[in-house]
A and B are shown apart, each in its own frame.
Chain A
Amino acid sequence: MRRYLFFQPFFLITSLFFSFSYVNATESNYLENQTFMTLSQAEKRWGKKDFSPEEFKRETANNRAKMAVNLIKKKQFIGKRPAEIKKALGEFSGHFWSDNIPTYLIEEGWNQKTDSWQLVFLLDNAGNVKEVRIHKNCCD
C-alpha cells in the first residue's frame, strides 16, 4: 500500500512531463540552433527597470533593454496576437524568421561591430504569443 501511494504522484508527474515535452519537440528543433540569453544574464548586462508599455514604445533600443527582464517576468503578453503587440509596443525592429514574429531590438551593436540582441515574442501554432525570450540578432 505504501509503495502504491508513493508511486501515484511520480506516475502522474512523469506522464505529464512526457506529454508536454513531446508537444514542443517540433518547435524547439529550430530554436535549438538559436542563441538566447537567460534572465539572470540580462539583469547583469542591462540591469532591471519596471516595464511600462508607453515608455517602451517611445524609447530607443538600448533604453528598452533595462525593461526586458521585467517585461518577460510580467507575462502580460502571453496569449496575445502579433497585432496587439504592435499596438502596445510600437513597430517591430530586428528580425526573427518573418515579419509576423514580433521582435524589438534592445541592444544594437552593429556600428561598433559588437553583438545585437532583441526581444522575440515566440508564437504557438495558433499564432498567439507563447513566450518572450531574449535572442541574439547578430552575430554568432
Chain B
Amino acid sequence: MKIAVLIFLFSTGVFATDGCRLWFDRSKIEAGSDCLTKCTVFKTDLSTFSCPERCSEFCESKSPVSKLLEKVAYYPGLTLEERKLISQYPKEALKAFLAKEKAESATMKQFKRDDEADESDAFRHFVWAGLLTKELGPEMAKKFLDAHESNQGSDNAERAMDLANNRAGLLAAERLQKNGSLTEDQIEKEALAALKDGTLIVLKPKGGPL
C-alpha cells in the first residue's frame, strides 16, 4: 500500500508537469539531423509510450536557437501572436528579441530609466522598430511589433502610443536604409531627434534624456 502511494505521488509530481519532456531529457539525445530517428526509437514504458509522438517538438526545442530564445524571451509574458511567430520563425524571433534587449539597454543608457508612457517608452519603441527593420526587413519587423502589441488587455491610449512610435521607427529606418546609413547609432540619433521635435507620442512626460 505504501509503495502504491509512493508511486502515485511520484507520478503526479513528475508527470503532472511534463513527463514526456523528462523522458526526452533523460534520453540525452542531442539536437541534429538524427534527433528525430533516435527519439522515435528510444525505449518507453507504460507511462511514456506516447512520448515519441512529440519527438519533432523536443528535437526542435533542443536546437541552439531554442536554448538562446529561452534566455532572451520572458515566455510567460509573450502574447499568443508572439508564440505563433516564434514557432513559425524561430531564428527571426531570436533576432527580434536580441534587438529588443539592445533597445532596452539603449533606453537605460539615455534615460537612466525604463518606464511606461513617457519619453523612455517612446524611445524604446522607436529604437526597437528601427533595429528590427535593420535585422529582419520592414515586413517581418512589423509582424513582431504588432504581435507584441496584440494583447487585448492593454490600455487603448498606451497601445496607440506604442503603435505610433513603432511606425515612426519603421519609417525612419526605411529612410536610413535608402540613404545607406541604417546603423544602430543612427537609429538612436533619429529617435532622440524625433523626441525633440515632437514627432513621437508621449502620454506621461517625465523629461530626458539625461
Tell me which of B47-55, B67-75, B130-138, B180-188 binds A.
Answer: B67-75
Is A138 interfacial (CB 8 A cutoff)?
yes
Say yes or no: A19-B115 contact (C-beta < 8 A), given A11-B6, A26-B70, A99-B162. Answer: no
Q: Are B76 and A20 in contact (CB under 8 A)?
A: no
The range of chain A's interface size is 35 or more
Q: Which of A81, A93, A122 has the most CB of B within 10 A?
A: A93
Q: Are B10 and A94 in contact (CB under 8 A)?
A: no
**Smallest beta-carbon distance B3→chain A, Å:** 9
Is B121 interfacial (CB 8 A cutoff)?
yes
Is B32 interfacial (CB 8 A cutoff)?
no
Question: Which residue on B lies nearest to A15, using beta carbons?
Answer: B10
Is B95 interfacial (CB 8 A cutoff)?
no
Is B21 interfacial (CB 8 A cutoff)?
yes
Is A22 interfacial (CB 8 A cutoff)?
yes
Q: Are B113 and A22 in contact (CB under 8 A)?
A: no
Q: Which of A99, A103, A109 has the most CB of B within 10 A?
A: A99
Tell me which of A40-48, A51-59, A69-77, A123-131 binds B.
Answer: A123-131
Q: Are B148 and A8 in contact (CB under 8 A)?
A: no
Tell me which of B85-93, B149-157, B165-173 binds A.
Answer: B149-157
Interfacial chain B residues near A125, Cβ < 8 Å: 75-76
Is A36 interfacial (CB 8 A cutoff)?
no
Q: How far is the CA of A6 from the CA of B208 in the complex (A)?
A: 63
Q: Which of B2, B10, B112, B207 has the most CB of A within 10 A?
A: B112
Is A100 interfacial (CB 8 A cutoff)?
yes
- Name A residues whose Cβ lies closer than 8 Å to a Cβ of B: 8, 11-12, 15-16, 18-20, 22-23, 26-27, 29-33, 81-83, 91-101, 103, 105, 108-111, 113, 116, 122-125, 127, 130, 137-139
Q: Which of B111, B113, B121, B155 has the most CB of A within 10 A?
A: B113
Q: Are B121 and A122 in contact (CB under 8 A)?
A: no
Is B45 interfacial (CB 8 A cutoff)?
no
Within 8 A of A (CB), among B50-86: 70-77, 79
Q: Are A113 and B17 in contact (CB under 8 A)?
A: no
Q: Contact partner of B208 among A20, A95, A110, A124, CB < 8 A?
A: A110
Report 19 cross-chain contacts, Cβ distance below 8 Å, ordered by A residue: A11-B10, A16-B13, A19-B22, A26-B75, A27-B74, A29-B71, A30-B74, A30-B75, A33-B71, A81-B153, A92-B116, A94-B114, A94-B115, A97-B74, A98-B77, A100-B77, A116-B113, A123-B76, A123-B77
Q: Contact partner of B151 among A16, A20, A92, A98, CB < 8 A?
A: A98
Q: How far is the CA of A122 from the CA of B18 in the complex (A)?
A: 21
Is B193 interfacial (CB 8 A cutoff)?
no
